[in-house]
Structure 1
């Protein structure tokens, strides 16, 4: 049996990098996935303006090594990515002695489905500059 998760969605915030005491770098980011919300008859729900209503779920993504380095360098808030990895459950006791639970996706691969806004803006500026050089 294999623990395999594949998610495609939008990055919720700029990835954060931290280093463990042992020197391992860990990159974390949140990923939003959406699906249409359905009524009791299974029909897609619409809002007052006729737009589809969606259910959004947030996932905590954790990356190590080269994947983490690439994500930290190139991934931005709002960017569309696909994550392939495994689901990992954690359990711990907090300062008030309450048992806590968490879940995260340990990413083996992160595929960019779109560019981040900074890169899109740079490309747009380059294309505008090139368009200025084209005779009409």
Structure 2
């Protein structure tokens, strides 16, 4: 059996990078995914204005090595990304001696589905300046 997670959504906050005592860099960010909310008959619910009502879930994404470096460098709040990785559960005891549980997605790949804000501000990508007469067929 394989532990595989694929999520596509919007980055909730600017990714944060920390370094472990051993020197490993870890980049983390939150990802929002949404799906239509359905009633007991399975119909998509709509608000007073006729727009779909959605359920939004927040996921904690953790990236290591090259993936973490790329995310830290290029991913921004509000950007659309697709994350492929695995789900990881953790258990620990807090300072009050209460057992706690957590879950995160360990990202193997992060694919950009939209440009970050800095790229959008630069304007559209430049043409190769090929006119119709320059196309070889």
Provide the TM-score with structure 1 as the length reference: 0.90
Q: Secondary structure at the match of 1:30?
A: strand
Q: Does 1:51 align with 2:51?
A: yes
Q: Secondary structure at the match of 2:122?
A: helix
Q: Secondary structure at the match of 2:48?
A: coil
Q: Which residue of 2 aligns with 1:42?
A: 42
Provide the TM-score with structure 2 as the length reference: 0.89
Equivalent runs, 1:93-104 vs 2, <5 Å: 93-104=93-104
The runs of 4+ residues in structure 1 deviating greater than 3 Å are none
Count residues in correspondence. Answer: 126
Q: Which residue of 2 aligns with 1:130?
A: none
Equivalent runs, 1:17-32 vs 2, <5 Å: 17-32=17-32
Q: Which residue of 2 aligns with 1:134?
A: none
Q: Secondary structure at the match of 2:41?
A: coil
Q: Which residue of 2 aligns with 1:16?
A: 16
More helix by share: 1
Q: Structure 2: 5+ residue runs without aligned partners?
A: 127-137
Equivalent runs, 1:1-136 vs 2, <5 Å: 1-123=1-123
Residues 56-95 of structure 1, C-alpha deviations (whole Å, 9 max, x = no match)? 0000000000000000000000000000000000000000
Take 1:122 and 1:24, find their aligned partners in 2: how far apart are those partners? 33
Q: Structure 1: 5+ residue runs without aligned partners?
A: 128-136
